[in-house]
Amino acid sequence: MILLAAILVGGLAGLIYSKLRKQPWTLPPVRHPWLVVIAFLPQDFAFFLPATRDRMPDTWAAISLFSSDVIFLFFCWVNCRLAGFWLLLGGTVCNLVVIGMNGGFMPISPETASHLIPADVLASLPLGERFGLGKDILLQPADTNLSWLSDIFLLPGWVRNQVAFSLGDIFISCGAFWLLATRGTPWIKLNQERK
């Protein structure tokens, strides 16, 4: 959800900046954009498509999540010349590390999960198991490797549909915003354009 908001706001900011400069807004000139589709296919099968996610064993779901992030990491690496991609790369590394060190899923604490689901449902979930059919695993912070990189953040309380997200997700969202707001133009070139 925060990534979607960052994409929308970044695109809008880039459009406004382009109009102020009397330039057409164009998509950033990313290399190998097809890698994004390839990167998210494993996650789609593991977590979003009911026909496959209901039948996929946890081991395969973990492999799907990890491989998806590795492909996206490669995509970020080949595009690091564009503004925002270092943040995308850093966020992806953060997520890969915490997922890899916690059994292939993103850890979420019972305290954080209590903001997402009813207390009686949470009480029935065993620790160390997947949190529903999503990418999270329910772990106490003391049992989580690098818990500060896990899904510990929540949207403000006034937001109706709560989601949990990680520091890596914040970096990825900031990178997506920066990429779209600047059309991928590095900071030095932006300063030159203003002169």
Q: How far apart are CA 85 and CA 75, in angstroms?
A: 9
Domain count, the chain: 1
State how far Cα 170 lies from the chain centre: 7
Give CA separation, 180 vs 48, 58, 186, in Å.
26, 35, 12
Segment 11-31 mean pLDDT: 88
- Residues contacting residue 180 through CB under 8 Å, at least 6 positions apart: 7, 10, 11, 13, 14, 28, 84
Instruction: Place 172 in a pLDDT band, splitting at 50, 70 and 90.
Output: very high
**What domain range is 108 assigned to?**
33-183
Considering only CA atoms, which of 151, 153, 157 is closest in space to residue 136? 151
Report residue 130's pLDDT band, with 50, 70 and 90 as the boundaries: confident
Contacts of 55 (CB under 8 A, 6+ apart): none
In a domain, residue 73? The reply is yes
Whether residue 98 lies inside any domain: the answer is: yes
Q: What pLDDT score does 17 carry?
A: 84
Residue 23 lies in a domain: no
CA nearest neighbour of 169 among 122, 135, 144: 135
Is 26 part of any domain?
no
Cα-based distances in Å from 25 to 19, 85, 105, 184: 8, 19, 38, 11
Q: Among 50, 89, 51, 84, which residue's Cα sits nearest to residue 73?
A: 89
Distance CA 144, CA 154 (A): 18
Q: What is the pLDDT of residue 186?
A: 67
pTM of whole model > 0.85? yes
Q: Give CA 71 to chain center in angstroms.
A: 13
Does residue 68 lie in a domain region? yes
Report the pLDDT value the prediction gives residue 65, as an integer from 0 to 100. 94
In order of 122, 134, 181, the CA distances from 190 in angstroms are: 49, 40, 11
Q: What is the mean pLDDT of residues 171-188?
A: 86
Residue 12 lies in a domain: no
Count the neighbouring beta carbons within 10 Å of the beta carbon of residue 49: 12
Whether residue 17 is contained in a domain is answered as: no
Give the pLDDT confidence score for residue 191 in this predicted structure.
46
Q: Which amino acid is at 4?
A: L
Identify the pLDDT of residue 93: 98
Could you report the per-residue pLDDT of 84-123, keeping only the tens digit for each?
999 999 999 999 999 999 999 999 999 999 998 888 888 8
Residue 10: both structure tokens together: 């970044």
Mapping DSSP to helix (H, G, I), strand (E, B) and coil, where does residue 187 land? Answer: helix
Has residue 24 been placed in a domain? no
| Amino acid (1-letter code) at residue 40 | F
